[in-house]
Amino acid sequence: MNLENQAGADVATMRWVGGTDGYLKMIDQTLLPTEFREIECRDVETVWEAIKKLRVRGAPAIGIAAAYGVVLALQTGAGTERPDFDQRLIEAATYLSESRPTAVNLFWALERMQKLAESSPDLSNPEMHKLLLEEAQLIEVEDLKMCHQIGEVGAELLSKGDGVLTHCNAGGLATSGGGTALAVFFEAARQGKQIHVYADETRPLLQGARLTTWELMQRGIPVTLISDSMAGWVMKEQKIQAVVTGADRIAANGDAANKIGTYSVALLASLHDIPFYIAAPSSTFDLSLESGEEIPIEERLPEEITNGFGKQTAPDGVDVYNPAFDVTPAKYIQGIITERGLIEPVTKEEVLRVLGSDPA
Ligand SMILES: CSC[C@H]1O[C@H](OP(=O)(O)O)[C@H](O)[C@@H]1O
Protein backbone atom coordinates (compact mmCIF):
# COMPACT_ATOMS: atom_id res chain seq x y z
CA MET A 1 0.00 0.00 0.00
CA ASN A 2 1.84 3.05 -1.24
CA LEU A 3 0.33 6.44 -0.69
CA GLU A 4 2.04 9.37 -2.30
CA ASN A 5 2.24 12.55 -0.28
CA GLN A 6 3.30 15.96 -1.43
CA ALA A 7 6.86 15.07 -0.58
CA GLY A 8 6.58 12.21 -3.03
CA ALA A 9 7.24 9.55 -0.41
CA ASP A 10 6.08 6.00 -0.97
CA VAL A 11 4.49 5.79 2.48
CA ALA A 12 2.54 8.89 3.43
CA THR A 13 3.44 9.03 7.12
CA MET A 14 1.56 12.28 7.13
CA ARG A 15 0.26 14.91 4.71
CA TRP A 16 -1.13 18.42 5.00
CA VAL A 17 -4.52 18.92 3.38
CA GLY A 18 -5.54 22.39 2.13
CA GLY A 19 -4.10 25.81 2.84
CA THR A 20 -3.47 27.58 6.14
CA ASP A 21 -7.03 26.67 7.16
CA GLY A 22 -6.33 23.03 6.36
CA TYR A 23 -5.40 20.09 8.56
CA LEU A 24 -2.86 17.29 9.02
CA LYS A 25 -3.63 13.69 8.10
CA MET A 26 -1.35 11.02 9.53
CA ILE A 27 -1.18 7.27 9.78
CA ASP A 28 -2.08 6.16 13.31
CA GLN A 29 0.94 3.92 13.84
CA THR A 30 -0.45 2.45 17.05
CA LEU A 31 -2.92 0.47 14.92
CA LEU A 32 -0.36 -1.07 12.53
CA PRO A 33 0.12 -3.69 11.27
CA THR A 34 -3.43 -4.99 11.60
CA GLU A 35 -5.21 -1.76 10.75
CA PHE A 36 -4.20 1.03 8.36
CA ARG A 37 -6.07 4.17 9.43
CA GLU A 38 -5.31 7.83 8.86
CA ILE A 39 -6.38 10.28 11.54
CA GLU A 40 -7.16 13.96 11.00
CA CYS A 41 -5.41 16.47 13.25
CA ARG A 42 -7.40 19.69 13.17
CA ASP A 43 -5.87 21.32 16.25
CA VAL A 44 -2.52 21.42 18.02
CA GLU A 45 -3.82 19.37 20.94
CA THR A 46 -4.49 16.44 18.62
CA VAL A 47 -0.94 16.65 17.28
CA TRP A 48 0.45 16.79 20.83
CA GLU A 49 -1.53 13.69 21.79
CA ALA A 50 -0.47 11.88 18.60
CA ILE A 51 3.20 12.50 19.40
CA LYS A 52 2.77 11.55 23.06
CA LYS A 53 0.92 8.31 22.26
CA LEU A 54 3.25 7.42 19.36
CA ARG A 55 0.52 7.58 16.75
CA VAL A 56 3.28 9.47 14.95
CA ARG A 57 6.79 8.61 16.13
CA GLY A 58 10.38 8.59 15.04
CA ALA A 59 12.61 11.62 15.39
CA PRO A 60 12.18 13.21 11.92
CA ALA A 61 8.46 12.42 11.79
CA ILE A 62 7.95 14.00 15.22
CA GLY A 63 9.70 17.16 14.02
CA ILE A 64 7.60 17.37 10.87
CA ALA A 65 4.36 16.77 12.81
CA ALA A 66 5.32 19.46 15.33
CA ALA A 67 5.96 21.96 12.54
CA TYR A 68 2.47 21.30 11.17
CA GLY A 69 1.14 21.48 14.74
CA VAL A 70 2.37 25.07 14.93
CA VAL A 71 0.46 25.88 11.74
CA LEU A 72 -2.69 24.34 13.22
CA ALA A 73 -2.26 26.28 16.45
CA LEU A 74 -2.12 29.56 14.55
CA GLN A 75 -5.59 28.94 13.13
CA THR A 76 -7.00 30.02 16.49
CA GLY A 77 -6.00 32.55 19.11
CA ALA A 78 -3.54 34.41 16.90
CA GLY A 79 -5.62 37.60 16.85
CA THR A 80 -5.30 40.15 14.09
CA GLU A 81 -2.14 41.92 15.27
CA ARG A 82 1.33 40.46 14.79
CA PRO A 83 2.34 40.56 18.51
CA ASP A 84 -0.65 38.33 19.31
CA PHE A 85 0.30 36.02 16.42
CA ASP A 86 3.88 35.76 17.68
CA GLN A 87 2.70 35.10 21.21
CA ARG A 88 0.45 32.30 19.98
CA LEU A 89 3.36 30.80 18.06
CA ILE A 90 5.55 30.80 21.17
CA GLU A 91 2.76 29.20 23.20
CA ALA A 92 2.27 26.49 20.57
CA ALA A 93 5.99 25.73 20.30
CA THR A 94 6.32 25.53 24.08
CA TYR A 95 3.30 23.25 24.30
CA LEU A 96 4.53 20.90 21.57
CA SER A 97 8.07 20.85 23.03
CA GLU A 98 6.63 19.26 26.17
CA SER A 99 5.23 16.23 24.32
CA ARG A 100 8.41 14.05 24.30
CA PRO A 101 11.93 15.03 25.47
CA THR A 102 14.48 12.93 23.58
CA ALA A 103 14.14 13.35 19.80
CA VAL A 104 16.00 16.58 19.07
CA ASN A 105 14.22 16.94 15.70
CA LEU A 106 11.13 18.09 17.63
CA PHE A 107 13.00 21.04 19.12
CA TRP A 108 14.97 21.67 15.93
CA ALA A 109 11.76 21.99 13.88
CA LEU A 110 10.03 24.21 16.45
CA GLU A 111 13.09 26.47 16.66
CA ARG A 112 13.21 26.69 12.87
CA MET A 113 9.57 27.78 12.74
CA GLN A 114 10.12 30.40 15.46
CA LYS A 115 13.27 31.76 13.83
CA LEU A 116 11.41 32.17 10.55
CA ALA A 117 8.78 34.29 12.27
CA GLU A 118 11.45 36.33 14.07
CA SER A 119 13.15 37.00 10.73
CA SER A 120 9.95 38.35 9.15
CA PRO A 121 8.52 40.78 11.72
CA ASP A 122 6.78 42.98 9.18
CA LEU A 123 4.57 40.36 7.54
CA SER A 124 0.87 40.37 8.34
CA ASN A 125 -0.62 37.47 10.28
CA PRO A 126 -2.05 35.79 7.14
CA GLU A 127 1.24 36.27 5.26
CA MET A 128 3.26 34.85 8.16
CA HIS A 129 0.85 31.95 8.57
CA LYS A 130 1.26 31.06 4.88
CA LEU A 131 5.03 31.29 5.15
CA LEU A 132 5.03 28.98 8.18
CA LEU A 133 2.93 26.40 6.36
CA GLU A 134 5.38 26.52 3.46
CA GLU A 135 8.25 26.06 5.94
CA ALA A 136 6.61 23.01 7.47
CA GLN A 137 6.14 21.56 4.00
CA LEU A 138 9.76 22.38 3.19
CA ILE A 139 10.93 20.57 6.33
CA GLU A 140 9.01 17.53 5.13
CA VAL A 141 10.35 17.67 1.57
CA GLU A 142 13.93 18.27 2.77
CA ASP A 143 13.63 15.28 5.09
CA LEU A 144 12.58 13.03 2.23
CA LYS A 145 15.60 14.15 0.22
CA MET A 146 17.85 13.50 3.22
CA CYS A 147 16.36 10.03 3.61
CA HIS A 148 17.21 9.12 0.05
CA GLN A 149 20.73 10.52 0.42
CA ILE A 150 21.19 8.52 3.62
CA GLY A 151 20.10 5.44 1.73
CA GLU A 152 22.67 6.04 -1.00
CA VAL A 153 25.51 6.65 1.46
CA GLY A 154 24.59 3.65 3.61
CA ALA A 155 23.97 1.16 0.81
CA GLU A 156 27.66 1.43 -0.12
CA LEU A 157 28.48 -0.21 3.20
CA LEU A 158 26.50 -3.38 2.52
CA SER A 159 27.54 -6.29 0.32
CA LYS A 160 25.50 -8.72 -1.74
CA GLY A 161 23.81 -11.30 0.46
CA ASP A 162 24.49 -9.52 3.76
CA GLY A 163 22.39 -10.28 6.82
CA VAL A 164 21.64 -6.97 8.55
CA LEU A 165 20.06 -6.43 11.94
CA THR A 166 18.03 -3.42 12.96
CA HIS A 167 16.30 -2.34 16.17
CA CYS A 168 12.97 -0.54 16.50
CA ASN A 169 11.67 1.26 13.40
CA ALA A 170 13.76 3.77 11.51
CA GLY A 171 11.71 3.44 8.37
CA GLY A 172 9.49 5.63 6.27
CA LEU A 173 7.04 5.70 9.19
CA ALA A 174 9.68 7.35 11.40
CA THR A 175 10.34 10.08 8.85
CA SER A 176 8.72 11.92 5.95
CA GLY A 177 8.47 8.56 4.27
CA GLY A 178 11.99 7.65 3.16
CA GLY A 179 13.41 6.19 6.37
CA THR A 180 16.91 6.33 7.78
CA ALA A 181 18.20 2.86 8.70
CA LEU A 182 15.57 1.35 6.46
CA ALA A 183 16.48 3.80 3.68
CA VAL A 184 19.84 2.01 3.62
CA PHE A 185 18.06 -1.33 3.22
CA PHE A 186 15.64 0.05 0.63
CA GLU A 187 18.52 1.36 -1.50
CA ALA A 188 20.66 -1.76 -1.08
CA ALA A 189 17.71 -3.85 -2.24
CA ARG A 190 17.10 -1.49 -5.16
CA GLN A 191 20.74 -2.03 -6.16
CA GLY A 192 20.12 -5.79 -6.18
CA LYS A 193 22.27 -6.56 -3.12
CA GLN A 194 19.75 -9.17 -1.89
CA ILE A 195 20.15 -8.34 1.79
CA HIS A 196 18.23 -10.15 4.51
CA VAL A 197 17.00 -8.05 7.41
CA TYR A 198 16.67 -9.34 10.96
CA ALA A 199 14.25 -7.09 12.84
CA ASP A 200 14.28 -6.94 16.63
CA GLU A 201 10.68 -6.89 17.83
CA THR A 202 11.70 -4.05 20.17
CA ARG A 203 9.85 -4.23 23.43
CA PRO A 204 7.83 -2.80 24.96
CA LEU A 205 5.94 -1.09 22.09
CA LEU A 206 7.11 -3.50 19.37
CA GLN A 207 7.95 -0.96 16.68
CA GLY A 208 10.15 -3.59 15.05
CA ALA A 209 7.53 -6.32 14.99
CA ARG A 210 4.66 -4.01 14.08
CA LEU A 211 6.27 -1.43 11.81
CA THR A 212 9.68 -2.49 10.46
CA THR A 213 8.51 -5.89 9.26
CA TRP A 214 5.41 -4.26 7.76
CA GLU A 215 7.46 -1.72 5.81
CA LEU A 216 9.97 -4.29 4.54
CA MET A 217 7.29 -6.79 3.52
CA GLN A 218 5.48 -3.97 1.70
CA ARG A 219 8.62 -3.63 -0.42
CA GLY A 220 9.34 -7.33 -0.82
CA ILE A 221 12.58 -7.18 1.20
CA PRO A 222 13.31 -10.45 3.05
CA VAL A 223 12.87 -9.89 6.79
CA THR A 224 13.00 -12.22 9.78
CA LEU A 225 11.41 -11.11 13.02
CA ILE A 226 13.34 -11.99 16.17
CA SER A 227 12.80 -11.31 19.84
CA ASP A 228 15.14 -8.74 21.36
CA SER A 229 16.88 -11.44 23.38
CA MET A 230 17.85 -13.26 20.16
CA ALA A 231 20.11 -10.49 18.80
CA GLY A 232 23.29 -11.97 20.30
CA TRP A 233 22.51 -15.47 19.14
CA VAL A 234 21.92 -14.57 15.47
CA MET A 235 25.23 -12.73 15.61
CA LYS A 236 26.92 -15.80 17.12
CA GLU A 237 25.41 -17.89 14.34
CA GLN A 238 27.08 -15.51 11.84
CA LYS A 239 23.75 -14.51 10.31
CA ILE A 240 24.59 -10.82 10.74
CA GLN A 241 27.23 -8.93 8.78
CA ALA A 242 26.16 -5.42 9.82
CA VAL A 243 23.83 -3.61 12.21
CA VAL A 244 22.10 -0.38 11.22
CA THR A 245 19.73 1.53 13.51
CA GLY A 246 18.25 5.00 13.65
CA ALA A 247 18.81 7.65 16.31
CA ASP A 248 16.81 10.25 18.17
CA ARG A 249 19.58 12.57 19.29
CA ILE A 250 23.33 12.49 18.59
CA ALA A 251 25.75 14.53 20.68
CA ALA A 252 28.74 16.40 19.28
CA ASN A 253 31.12 13.53 20.13
CA GLY A 254 28.91 11.01 18.29
CA ASP A 255 27.24 9.38 21.30
CA ALA A 256 23.77 8.42 20.07
CA ALA A 257 20.42 8.05 21.83
CA ASN A 258 18.10 5.52 20.29
CA LYS A 259 15.35 3.13 21.32
CA ILE A 260 16.01 1.22 24.52
CA GLY A 261 17.96 -1.92 23.70
CA THR A 262 20.17 -0.28 21.08
CA TYR A 263 23.08 -0.01 23.52
CA SER A 264 22.87 -3.74 24.19
CA VAL A 265 22.83 -4.49 20.46
CA ALA A 266 25.89 -2.27 19.96
CA LEU A 267 27.79 -4.10 22.71
CA LEU A 268 26.88 -7.46 21.19
CA ALA A 269 27.96 -6.28 17.74
CA SER A 270 31.28 -5.14 19.18
CA LEU A 271 31.84 -8.51 20.86
CA HIS A 272 31.20 -10.26 17.53
CA ASP A 273 33.29 -7.83 15.47
CA ILE A 274 30.21 -6.78 13.52
CA PRO A 275 30.10 -3.14 12.34
CA PHE A 276 27.37 -1.14 14.11
CA TYR A 277 26.11 1.87 12.17
CA ILE A 278 23.72 4.65 13.04
CA ALA A 279 21.74 6.24 10.19
CA ALA A 280 20.44 9.74 10.85
CA PRO A 281 19.97 13.10 9.14
CA SER A 282 21.89 16.17 10.25
CA SER A 283 18.68 17.37 11.94
CA THR A 284 19.17 14.63 14.55
CA PHE A 285 22.48 16.03 15.77
CA ASP A 286 22.54 18.23 18.88
CA LEU A 287 25.96 19.88 18.77
CA SER A 288 25.16 21.84 21.92
CA LEU A 289 25.75 18.62 23.85
CA GLU A 290 29.37 17.55 24.30
CA SER A 291 28.43 13.95 25.01
CA GLY A 292 25.52 11.57 25.30
CA GLU A 293 25.57 11.94 29.07
CA GLU A 294 23.53 15.12 28.59
CA ILE A 295 20.79 13.63 26.38
CA PRO A 296 17.40 13.68 28.16
CA ILE A 297 15.94 10.16 28.30
CA GLU A 298 12.17 9.85 28.21
CA GLU A 299 10.59 7.60 30.83
CA ARG A 300 7.23 6.21 29.92
CA LEU A 301 4.32 4.67 31.81
CA PRO A 302 4.78 1.30 33.59
CA GLU A 303 1.67 -0.04 31.85
CA GLU A 304 3.57 -0.23 28.57
CA ILE A 305 5.53 -3.07 30.18
CA THR A 306 3.04 -4.58 32.65
CA ASN A 307 -0.03 -4.37 30.37
CA GLY A 308 1.42 -4.35 26.89
CA PHE A 309 -1.36 -4.21 24.31
CA GLY A 310 -3.99 -4.83 26.97
CA LYS A 311 -2.63 -8.08 28.41
CA GLN A 312 -1.47 -7.96 32.02
CA THR A 313 1.84 -9.78 32.29
CA ALA A 314 3.09 -8.68 35.72
CA PRO A 315 1.59 -8.50 39.22
CA ASP A 316 -0.33 -5.41 40.26
CA GLY A 317 1.95 -2.94 41.99
CA VAL A 318 5.24 -4.32 40.66
CA ASP A 319 8.00 -1.74 40.48
CA VAL A 320 8.74 -0.81 36.84
CA TYR A 321 11.52 1.15 35.14
CA ASN A 322 10.61 2.11 31.56
CA PRO A 323 13.16 4.37 29.85
CA ALA A 324 12.21 4.67 26.17
CA PHE A 325 15.80 5.24 25.03
CA ASP A 326 19.41 4.48 25.87
CA VAL A 327 22.68 6.00 24.72
CA THR A 328 25.36 4.19 22.73
CA PRO A 329 28.86 5.63 23.24
CA ALA A 330 30.64 6.64 20.04
CA LYS A 331 33.36 4.03 20.63
CA TYR A 332 30.86 1.29 19.80
CA ILE A 333 29.67 2.98 16.61
CA GLN A 334 31.57 2.10 13.42
CA GLY A 335 30.11 5.03 11.54
CA ILE A 336 27.19 7.43 11.37
CA ILE A 337 25.46 7.50 7.99
CA THR A 338 24.18 10.98 7.17
CA GLU A 339 22.88 12.73 4.06
CA ARG A 340 26.18 14.63 4.00
CA GLY A 341 28.32 11.50 4.05
CA LEU A 342 29.67 8.84 6.40
CA ILE A 343 31.09 9.97 9.73
CA GLU A 344 33.88 7.48 10.43
CA PRO A 345 35.65 7.33 12.79
CA VAL A 346 33.00 8.67 15.10
CA THR A 347 34.74 11.59 16.77
CA LYS A 348 33.76 15.20 17.38
CA GLU A 349 36.29 16.31 14.80
CA GLU A 350 34.81 14.02 12.16
CA VAL A 351 31.25 14.97 13.11
CA LEU A 352 32.04 18.65 12.58
CA ARG A 353 33.99 17.96 9.39
CA VAL A 354 31.21 15.97 7.73
CA LEU A 355 28.32 18.10 8.97
CA GLY A 356 30.13 21.33 8.31
CA SER A 357 29.86 24.42 10.43
CA ASP A 358 26.15 24.79 9.75
CA PRO A 359 24.34 21.50 10.44
CA ALA A 360 20.64 21.45 9.61
C1 LIG B 1 14.43 7.76 12.32
S2 LIG B 1 14.23 8.04 14.00
C3 LIG B 1 13.68 6.48 14.54
C4 LIG B 1 13.88 6.26 16.00
O5 LIG B 1 12.76 6.75 16.77
C6 LIG B 1 12.24 5.66 17.50
O7 LIG B 1 11.72 5.99 18.75
P8 LIG B 1 10.11 6.12 18.95
O9 LIG B 1 9.48 5.01 18.17
O10 LIG B 1 9.94 6.00 20.45
O11 LIG B 1 9.77 7.49 18.44
C12 LIG B 1 13.42 4.73 17.67
O13 LIG B 1 14.35 5.22 18.62
C14 LIG B 1 13.97 4.80 16.27
O15 LIG B 1 15.27 4.32 16.10
Q: Where do the domains of the chain lie, and which CATH numbers do they carry?
A: 3-146 (1.20.120.420), 150-355 (3.40.50.10470)
Percentage of residues of the chain with pLDDT beyond 90: 94
Query: Annotated active-site positions, please?
Result: 248
Q: What is the pLDDT of residues 103-121, one digit of tens each?
A: 999 999 999 999 999 999 9
Nearest-CA residue for atom 15 of ligand 1: 246
Q: What is the pLDDT of residues 287-303, one digit of tens each?
A: 999 999 999 999 999 99
> Omega into 345 within 30° of 0, i.e. cis?
yes
At residue 1, the pLDDT reads 38
Q: What is the pLDDT of residues 242-270, one digit of tens each?
A: 999 999 999 999 999 999 999 999 999 99
**What is the distance between the alpha carbons of residues 208 and 188, in angstroms, rounded to a whole number?**
19
Calculate the CA 270 to chain-centre distance.
Answer: 24
Nearest-CA residue for atom 4 of ligand 1: 58
Q: Give the C-alpha distances (Å, rounded to integers) separating 53 from 30, 58, 91, 173.
A: 8, 12, 21, 15
Query: Ligand 1 mean position to 348 CA, how many Å?
Result: 23
What is the average per-residue pLDDT within 310-326?
97
**What is the distance between the alpha carbons of residues 355 and 341, in angstroms, rounded to a whole number?**
8
Q: Which of 7-16, 18-27, 217-226 has the lowest mean pLDDT?
A: 7-16
Q: Give the pLDDT band (50/70/90) at residue 356.
A: confident
With a Cβ cut-off of 6 Å, ligand 1 is lined by 54, 57-60, 168, 170, 174-175, 180, 207, 245-246, 248, 258-259, 324
Q: Is 322 annotated as a binding residue?
A: no
Closest by CA to 332, choosing from 245, 248, 216, is: 245
What value does the CA radius of gyration of the chain take, rounded to a whole number of Å?
20
Query: Ligand 1 mean position to 245 CA, how many Å?
Result: 9
**What is the distance between the alpha carbons of residues 146 and 9, in angstroms, rounded to a whole number?**
12
Q: Is 29 annotated as a binding residue?
A: no
Query: Ligand 1 mean position to 134 CA, how many Å?
Result: 26
Closest by CA to 47, choosing from 28, 21, 20, is: 28
The 14-17 sheet, strands edge to edge: 14-17, 23-27, 38-41
Nearest-CA residue for atom 1 of ligand 1: 170
Q: Interhelix angle for 44-52 vs 59-73, to 10°?
A: 160
One-letter identity of residue 217 = M
**pTM over cut 0.90:** yes
One-letter identity of residue 285 = F
Longest dimension (CA), the chain: 66
Looking at the DSSP bridge assignments, the partners of residue 164 are 197, 242
Nearest-CA residue for atom 12 of ligand 1: 259
Tell me what ipTM this predicted complex has: 0.99
Q: Which of 1-15, 118-132, 218-232 has the lowest mean pLDDT?
A: 1-15
At residue 3, the pLDDT reads 39
Residue 152: pLDDT over 90: yes
**What is the distance between the alpha carbons of residues 283 and 146, in angstroms, rounded to a whole number?**
10
At residue 12, the pLDDT reads 80
Best residue among 105, 106, 144, 248 to mutate for probing ligand 1's pocket (most ligand atoms within 8 Å of CB) is 248
Q: Which of 1-5, 102-106, 224-228, 314-318 has the lowest mean pLDDT?
A: 1-5
Q: Which residue has the higher pLDDT, 11 or 242?
A: 242
Residue 9: pLDDT over 50: no
At residue 352, the pLDDT reads 97
